Amino acid sequence: MNTPLTPTDNNGIPSSETQPNKRRRKKSIVWEHFTIETIGVGNTRACCKQCKKYFAYITGSKLAGTSHLKRHIALGICPVSRQKNQMTPFTPSSKTGAIDAPKRRPRANSGYAKISFDQERCNHEIAKMIIMHEYPLHIVEQQGFISFVRTLQPQFNMVSLKAVQDDCVAIYHREKQNLLNHISGIPGRVSLTVDLWTSNQNLGYVFLRGHFIDGDWNSYRQILNVVMVPSTDSGDTFSQAILTCLSDWHLEGRLFTITLDQSLSNETIIGNLKGLLSVKNPHMLSSQLLIRNCYARVLSRLAQDALRALSGTIMKVRESVKYVKTSESREEKFVQLKQQLQVPSSKNISVDNLTKWDTTYHMLVAACELREVFACLDTYDPDYNINISLEEWKQVETLWTYLMYFFDAANILTAPTYPSANAFFPKVSEIQKALMHAAMSDDPFVSYLIRPLYEKFDKYWENCCLVLAIAVIMDPRFKMKHVESTFSEIYGENAETWIRIVDGGIHDLFLEYMMQMLTLPEIPIEEGNDGIMKTELPEIPSQEILLSSADGLQDFDFFMPDITGGQQMKSELDQYLEEEEFLLVDGVEDFDVLGWWRLNRHKYPTLSRMASDILSIPVSTVAPDAVFDTEIKRMDSYRTSLGTATLEALICAKDWIQYGPLPQPPALQESNAAVKMEF
């Protein structure tokens, strides 16, 4: 039995290595509650008299000290002493040598302790939290949230429902003013997308999103308005929503294109919007830049049509995947069989989500790669009795091969940065060519599956190919060459007609920009003897502009005075198109087309202005998280219960603040610096 004694060496002399400091031991009150016991050579421990628990004290030449022993006594950690209530509490006393409970050392990063409580800032942060995470406004009245906040900060007075609503609306107005300042400072135009949400109350909610490129060649896509409409069948309804947006954001005369969801593409709505576009944007190709169908929704509907054509076989695949994934033991057997058969696939099967068609695509791809395992699963697991024939597997493989075109084309919309318009012509033309060839296939199943898809997609191609072709011409890697080769594959002998349409369209568009840049209405125009309208430009005295008296566009030319024998000077557009195509350096995958135009904006001042508007044309109306949706978005019952102004404020403010503050013009930055922001 160990007895409390002082450690000694072999000669019975107290060891200098392990001898405790007697002066410390006499001064500390802890030794009224602990004894010192030798556990082994060079190892002395302190033992609590109450609970008999050992604590480190001396190990070799290291002295552990007594702070941990003080905590054991002072904080009531000792279980026996706590139960008996026999522990004498420590109180400060200089006479008895008693000490206080040990104080915790302040952390190195103690700056937060110096921050005073700010009720207004807390109110603002709660409102911001509600906006960002779409919490209901009445969360401030829920007892669980109130208790949580008061635990964090007892001084906080919980804000009322009316007050937090006012705070959210105040954030909306502040962010709206910032965005309005930013849009007012951009040199180009703004394109709109019009998307429709529904609700259980049969009300419609029109989402209007603005797309533009600012003076620093940064691309933006921001929700501008959310307008509640009582009827989704009236063409005037959507025209009025667009007019409201144009007025709200001072965009009269600055509208470039409109892109619609397919559900809005009835002839009445299209007719009204074409009239609106021709009035609000009278020069831009006579409203030909109206895109009638949303790119993502077109791909989604085609994918769903293809899946429905093979719904019976897909159901078998889905049930097979469910059978494996709903039991751990079955999944283990499946993996073991896969290993035995040495199937090289690295994909994992998963049950699809019927509201997202890409999950069905991934399920089919993985199942096809593992079809050998499914084919043998009944011999390894007698309970599995789903029979998928070899022919059915071949049909599934054909199906996902064409779904892959839709998936790859839609997937570019899920990137953190919205792609510029030049990215879509290669994707859309690739689908057009693949479906066209498959529709004429000798394989009866391929023809049966793809022909209906091709007929629908061909209508989309005819509607948008002009806009997308003009956009890809603004990519210096491609210019007209890509359009010419693509049209030759698609249209064959008729390709030249379509190429001329695109070439004429982009030249007409450039001439309109030239007219705007030169501010022709302010310049006196004289009629020559030959009936041609001529004018001298004070800013460019060496050039003249010839305008045809017929339509003012077709015979638009530049020429220098007869210094070089009357040789005609080429426009910026012709110079750009005739220059050798831009070649990427090997190994560079991502090309920054906006960065290229930013660097070349002084070389092509007018064309770069046109390029910024064209490259910001949106082809899709949906948000990145809804690209693969199979259903139209629905407003939930809570949000429909809100007032229209509050609803718009919550949705728009979330969209604006999630991307951080917008850059402000220098004049505004200086004025804001002297003003304290009040929430």
Task: At 206, list the tokens.
Answer: 């029109």
Question: pLDDT at residue 121 above 70?
Answer: yes
Alpha-carbon span 420 to 57, nearest angstrom: 70
| Per-residue pLDDT tens digits for 304-361 | 999 999 999 999 999 999 999 999 999 998 999 999 999 888 888 999 999 999 999 9
Alpha-carbon span 361 to 347, nearest angstrom: 13
Give the DSSP H or E segment for 255.
Answer: strand 255-260
Average pLDDT over residues 181-210: 90
Give the confidence band of 234 by pLDDT, cuts at 50, 70, 90.
low
Task: At 435, list the tokens.
Answer: 């479906």
Through-space distance between the first and last CA atoms of the chain, rounded to whole angstroms: 73
Average pLDDT over residues 108-123: 71
| Per-residue pLDDT tens digits for 414-426 | 988 889 999 999 9
Task: At 154, list the tokens.
Answer: 């007892």
Residues 118-142: b if buried by 16+ CB within 10 A, e if exposed: eeeebbbebbbebbeeeeebebbee
Alpha-carbon span 255 to 359, nearest angstrom: 37
Question: pLDDT at residue 582 above 90?
Answer: no
Task: At 231, list the tokens.
Answer: 């009827």
Q: pTM score, two decimals? A: 0.72
Give the confidence band of 140 by pLDDT, cuts at 50, 70, 90.
very high
Question: What single DSSP character describes residue 15?
Answer: P
Alpha-carbon span 35 to 48, nearest angstrom: 7
Mean pLDDT of the chain: 79
* pLDDT for residue 450: 95
In 10 A of CB 339, how many CB atoms? 10
* pLDDT for residue 506: 92
Question: pLDDT at residue 67 above 50?
Answer: yes
* pLDDT for residue 118: 87
Domains of the chain: 30-75 (no CATH), 168-294+621-659 (3.30.420), 420-517+593-620 (no CATH)
| Per-residue pLDDT tens digits for 592-644 | 999 999 999 999 999 999 999 999 999 999 999 999 999 888 999 999 999 99
Alpha-carbon span 438 to 448, nearest angstrom: 9
Give the confidence band of 39 by pLDDT, cuts at 50, 70, 90.
confident
Average pLDDT over residues 508-522: 75
Nearest residue to 484 (alpha-carbon basis) of 501, 460, 459:
501
Give residue 32's identity as a one-letter amino acid code. E
Nearest residue to 594 (alpha-carbon basis) of 340, 422, 399:
422
**3-state SS assignment for residue 549:** coil
* pLDDT for residue 76: 58
Task: Report the percent of the chain where pLDDT is more than 70.
Answer: 73
By residue count, the chain amounts to 679
More confident residue, 19 or 430: 430
In 10 A of CB 165, how many CB atoms? 21
In 10 A of CB 673, how many CB atoms? 7
Question: pLDDT at residue 677 above 50?
Answer: no
**3-state SS assignment for residue 186:** coil
Give residue 292's identity as a one-letter amino acid code. R
Q: What is the gyration radius of the CA atoms in the chain, in angstroms?
A: 38
Task: At 635, list the tokens.
Answer: 């407003």
Provide the CB-side half-sphere exposure for 8 (13 A, CA): 6
Question: pLDDT at residue 33 above 60?
Answer: yes
More confident residue, 242 or 265: 242
Task: At 395, list the tokens.
Answer: 């049909």
Alpha-carbon span 542 to 336, nearest angstrom: 82
Question: pLDDT at residue 261 above 90?
Answer: no
Question: pLDDT at residue 411 above 60?
Answer: yes
Nearest residue to 276 (alpha-carbon basis) of 295, 251, 309, 248:
251
Alpha-carbon span 518 to 539, nearest angstrom: 9
Largest Cα–Cα distance in the chain?
A: 132
SS (H, E, C) 501-515: HHHHHHHHHHHHHHH
